């Protein structure tokens, strides 16, 4: 009887230990998983941006291997989504600290008529001088819009600005190998975005 009791106690302890192990494993796996929308496996090669910074410096995505890259397409007269997204980018950079040096934060204009290089530079500098504001000739921009699903649509409005540009509010995330790994919906928090970037930076 005594041996049976000892066996039951041992079995119970083993069951508890096993449960704790698997709960810990699940928590670890949950921590490792992306909170944004994962693209799938195998991840596709991201469209190769070929644009310019405000000072004319070329920016080519294929030459940024080793960097994690966030791409957002918007315009400087945008009243809501664009400034809110770039403000999140600033929060992410602050949260990452020194790790932010491994991330390119990219803003690509969908309104080249008004977003001259100087205008874009001044706009992104309001959020961080380390962010990239990119433009280019119309064919290069159209390729970028198509490559990243900008959904660009110009609509005339009766106001001083003359027109607004409807566009996707999603952020695209490319890993250090140039693969399209995640997209971030507009509603996603900077905390969750930073979590996913840390996972990519650690790869």
* Gap between the Cα atoms of 53 and 27, Å rounded: 42
User: What's the pTM?
Assistant: 0.82
CA–CA–CA angle 178, 61, 94 (5° rounding): 85
Query: CA 26 → CA 14, 38, 129, distances in Å?
Result: 18, 19, 40
Tens-place pLDDT, residues 158-182: 888 889 999 999 999 999 999 999 9
Query: CA 143 → CA 137, 138, 157, distances in Å?
Result: 10, 9, 26
φ, ψ of residue 94 in degrees (nearest 5)? -65, -40
Tens-place pLDDT, residues 119-161: 999 999 999 999 999 999 999 999 999 999 998 999 888 888 8
């Amino acid at each position: 009887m005594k041996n049976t009791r000892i066996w039951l106690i041992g079995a119970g302890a083993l069951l508890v230990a096993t449960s704790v192990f698997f709960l810990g494993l699940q928590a670890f796996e949950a921590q490792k998983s992306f909170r944004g929308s994962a693209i799938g496996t195998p991840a596709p090669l991201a469209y190769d941006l070929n644009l310019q910074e405000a000072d004319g410096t070329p920016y080519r995505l294929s030459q940024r291997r080793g960097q994690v890259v966030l791409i957002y397409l918007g315009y400087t007269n945008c009243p809501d989504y664009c400034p809110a997204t770039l403000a999140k980018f600033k929060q992410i950079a602050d949260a990452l600290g020194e790790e932010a040096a491994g991330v390119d934060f990219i803003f690509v204009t969908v309104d080249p008529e008004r977003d001259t290089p100087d205008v874009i530079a001044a706009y992104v500098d309001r959020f961080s001088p380390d962010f990239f504001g990119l433009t280019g000739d119309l064919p290069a921009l159209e390729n970028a819009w198509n490559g990243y699903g900008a959904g660009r649509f110009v609509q005339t409005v009766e106001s001083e600005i003359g027109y607004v540009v409807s566009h996707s509010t999603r952020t695209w995330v490319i890993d250090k190998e140039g693969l399209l790994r995640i997209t971030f919906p507009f509603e996603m928090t900077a905390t969750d975005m930073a979590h996913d970037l840390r996972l990519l930076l650690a790869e």
